[in-house]
Structure formats: structure tokens, C-alpha cells
A and B are shown apart, each in its own frame.
Chain A
Amino acid sequence: MQKISAEQVKHIAELARIELTDQEKEKFSKELSSILDYVGQLNEVDAKNIEAIKQITGLENVARNDEPRIRNQELRKKILKQAPDRKGDYFKVPKILE
């Protein structure tokens, strides 16, 4: 049984930037362990010489020309309006550096 401890859950949650209570850590430990146990079936498959799927339709390197595009001012205003905290045209966040 693939076991994910509550301690590992704490680490994963930090990576995923989600704060959990101790109770939640226990609950997720059980649930994630059970799911990982299920997906462990993939170990039965011999895929030594198989290449992983990159793009299911076979499309590769679809790019547009490296040209500047004219920005829609109305759209820009609508986007900035959604900012939870804002100073002029800047999204405001709490301090990052100590």
C-alpha cells in the first residue's frame, strides 16, 4: 500500500500553496494513499521501449509570428478592474522580501 504520511501531505500542500488544518492533513493522507495505491497498477505495465505521448494530435511547434499585437484598451481595463488590490495599473501584493 502506497502510504502518504500526514507529514508528506504537509510538504505537498506547501508546494501546492494550500494551507491545511491537522485534521485535513490526516484526511488527505488516507485519501491520497488510497488513490496512489489504485494508480500503482501502472507498475504492471511494461513500457520500457515506449515513448510518452507528447501531443495527441501530432501537432508540433505551432507558433505565431513574432510581431507585436495591438492591445484592446477596453479589455485591459476590464482585466485590471478585477484586481483584488490595485495601485494604478499595478496589481498590489503584500511584501515579498523581508
Chain B
Amino acid sequence: MTQFSNLTIEQAHKGLIKKEFSAVELTNFYLKKIKKENKKFNAFLTITEKIAMDQARKVDKKLADGEKIGSIEGIPIAIKDNILVKDYKTTAGSKILENYTAPYNATVIEGLKKSGTVILGKTNLDEFAMGSSTENSAFGPTKNPLDITRVPGGSSGGSAAAVAADECIAALGSDTSGSIRQPASFCGVVGFKSSYGMVSRYGLIAMASSLDQIGPLTKNVEDTKLIFDAICGHDDLDSTSLDYTKYKKEKREYRTLKAGVPKEYFEEGINKDVRKSVEKAIKKFEKIGVKIKEVKLPFTKYALAAYYVIMPAEISANLARYDGVKYGLRVKSQEPEAENLLGVYLKTRAKGFGHESRRRMMLGTYVLSAGYREAYYNKAQKVRTLIKKEFDEIFDLSIGGVDFLLTPTAPTTAFKIGEKKDPLSMYLSDIYTTPASLAGLPAISIPCGFIGKLPVGLQIIGPQFKDDLVLEAAMLYEQM
């Protein structure tokens, strides 16, 4: 039905209140589309039809009773499969949780429930969110809807692909060092990672606890704002979460804004067409009166190295719970080889985890082990301090700083499935998204052009807690 083609949240909302279609019709359209296309794209691991239809019917009843509905009420959304949705499987893209049924809702899901959104299903991801291509999923890779021989990016590849393929109106993903932003850039959608602490991590299967943030993937910036509003906020169940309302809402005249362009994000490794595309986007800001300033962030080059010490360390701790004892896969101890508890651990974890997960857990175990912790982990955390300080200084307006930074989201467009066999070449996909994660800063990726049929993403990084400013800057670009 063409009336349902590529709707934004606002369009769908208007359609519902004008009674152009019902919530059930809207939901059915997406459910049918997913079922029809999932063999092709493999964006979804589970379709949550029952709760989708229950919610859609509730919305239709409200509309029939003449009640007002909220801005995202009845809107069909997809959820990355590392976020718990009660009574449905949550696999984290791993065999070790293949049959794990979520006993409770993540706080963000409770938030979406309260807002009346329709949850269509759970999307594919790199196992335990470890990866930049969704090729590490134990359930097959997701294909980029713009070119099915290519990756959608990762780790929130399923969510990005679902939005790009219009299999949902919006989706939730998670971002630890680019896992929302990079797939958004590869699939031509908007992807937002808020300042660390703005969105509760309760019910998000933990990867790296000092870095993880849940966030939206949407068709435009307005939709991202609407979803973010529904999921952000302080949560008693997440002691690292913050009250977003405490941070002043910026409404700056755009001609007073200063955008920084850090030279380190445009040097070796970036594809020349990607660079051209992003430079064109930056010129657009300049044309409307935003001041553009070239800046230097020399610690940028150490961000990925620091990340690949800190993140595996946190992963090794967070994944220690998957031991076959309380939930998930357990290699049966009736087998003669696994006759003691240690055997259960060794065999369960060997069988349940894929190669990338095991690699990162071992790396983490090593950098935290006796004799190496000081040299690796403590050093990396100190470098992290330096990276944060560098950002704080660049954003300090009292010493000639800038309001936000403009950079490419990724050094390339979507690469081919199977292309990046060497782990390091894969890790380098996150070279521009990692620094903002280490510093806990808000960052968004918005589409800014194409190379052939492949999208390019522009990243806007803002000062800590100035999420509103980042969203306004993104909105400004989109409206140009």
C-alpha cells in the first residue's frame, strides 16, 4: 500500500489521528513486509507479533473512544536483540543465549510501552554487540538493503537495515564505540548515541559498561528526538544514569554557532570520496553562516588503542556470567568429558561463544591479569583521561573553543560481506566514532550524500551533556 511507504513518525501519527488508517493496519503492513523480506535481508531474529497486535489494538480503541494519542503511540518499532523484551527470546546474537527468554523488560522498553509504541520484533546484531558489520552474529549476517552483497555495518546492523528497508518506522540500537552511528552511516539513516548516562542501561545485555548506550535509529532527526525523549531519563535501576532535564536546553541562533573540523579525522585511512562528501556537507554549514574552524585533537590517534584495552577488559568481566549455571546454554554434564563444574564452564563457553567474542574476552583477561594490568589497563584509562580533557578544551568557548565538531562517521562506505578478514582492519571502521564514546559525549550520524548507491554519514559530536545542541545542529543540516 503506497500510503504506508517510507513513513516518518510524524506522518504515521498524522495518518492515525486523521483516521486514514488504523494502528492495526499500520502494524500489519510492517509485519507482512518483515515476513516477506526477512529471508533476503535477515534483519530480524524474532517477530514479536502478539505484543505488536495487542498494542496496536489498544491504540485503535483509544482512537475509537475519541481519546488523544501521544506522538509515538501506535508507531511500529524494532528492537536490537541485546535489549530485553519480556517473555520473548533475547539472544544477543549468540548461541549461548539462543533460547534465553527475557524475564523482564529493559527500562527503555517500559518507556516505549508507556508511550504506546508497537514493538515489531528483535533485530540481528554482532554477537554481544562485538563487531562493526553484523557478520559476527551466530544467526547469519544481515545484508545491507541498499546492496545485499554488502554489510549494513555493526553491531546494530539489523536495526539499521530494518529502518533503511522500511521494515519498521524506527528502531533501537546500542552504541559502545560506534555501533549505532556506523551502521546508520552505512545504511543511510540517522543514528544517535547520547551522552553516557542519558539512557538507562537496565535490561541492556552489557558489553562494556562504561561505554554502552542505547539509542535510536530513524529516518530523520525529528524522529530521533521523539524516540530519545521517550527513553532518556534517570533510572533507579541504573546507578550510572542521569536526569536529562537537569541539562539546560540549548536554543542558539545558528549564525552564532562555531563548528570545529578536527584534522585528525580527515587524514590517512579515509576514502577520498567519503572525505569529499563530508567536506561538501561542512561547506553547507558554512554557507548558512555557521563559523567553521580547523582544530587539532592530537590524542585522537590513541583512542582506538585505548578502547581495545578498556573494552575487552570490561567484556571479560561482563561475559563471565555466561557459565551455563543459571540460564543459557549448558553443555550437559552427563558427557564424560564435562563431569565437573570447571568442565561445564570450559565446554559451555567454548561451544556458546563465537570467535570474536572469545578473542575479546581473552584480550581482556590478559590486560587485566597480574603483571599486565598496570601497563595496559591503567595506562589506557589514563590515556582516556587525556582524550576527554582534549575534547573538554576544544569545546571550551571561553578559550576560543567550538560548539560542536563535524567529522565523517566512518572512513569508508559499506564494505562487502567477507571483505574484512583481518581483525584490525575491521576494528579500524570505528576510528572516528570511538573517541566520542571514550569521552562519554553525544554524537549523531546523519546521511550527507552517496557514492554510487552507497550512503555516506556525517558525524556531529557535541560537548558532554549538550545532547540538545547536537540534535539541533543535525536538524539544521537536515533542513538545508
Contact = CB atoms under 8 A, between A and B. Distances in A.
Interface of A is mostly: loop
Interface string B332-343: 010000111111
A40 B240 CA distance: 30
A32 B345 contact: no
A85 B3 CA distance: 51
Contacts, number: 170
Contacts of B180: none
Interface of B is mostly: helix
Contacts of A43: 379
Interface residues of B, number: 69
Nearest to B366: A12
A94 B388 contact: no
Interface in B176-214: 195-197, 210
Contacts of B365: 12, 15-16
B350 A20 contact: yes
B316 interface: yes
A57 B423 contact: no
Interface in A1-42: 4, 8-9, 12-13, 15-20, 28, 31-32, 34-36, 38-42
Interface stretch (B12-20, B55-63, B318-326): B318-326
Contact of B302 (A17, A45, A51, A96): A45
B242 interface: yes
A94 B366 contact: no
Interface of B: 100-101, 103-104, 195-197, 210, 236, 239-240, 242, 299, 301-302, 304-306, 308-309, 316, 320, 323-330, 333, 338-347, 349-350, 353, 358-359, 361-363, 365-366, 369, 376, 378-386, 388, 423-424, 427, 439-440, 464
Given A16-B365, A94-B343, 6 more contacts: A41-B302, A55-B210, A56-B388, A62-B239, A91-B326, A94-B341
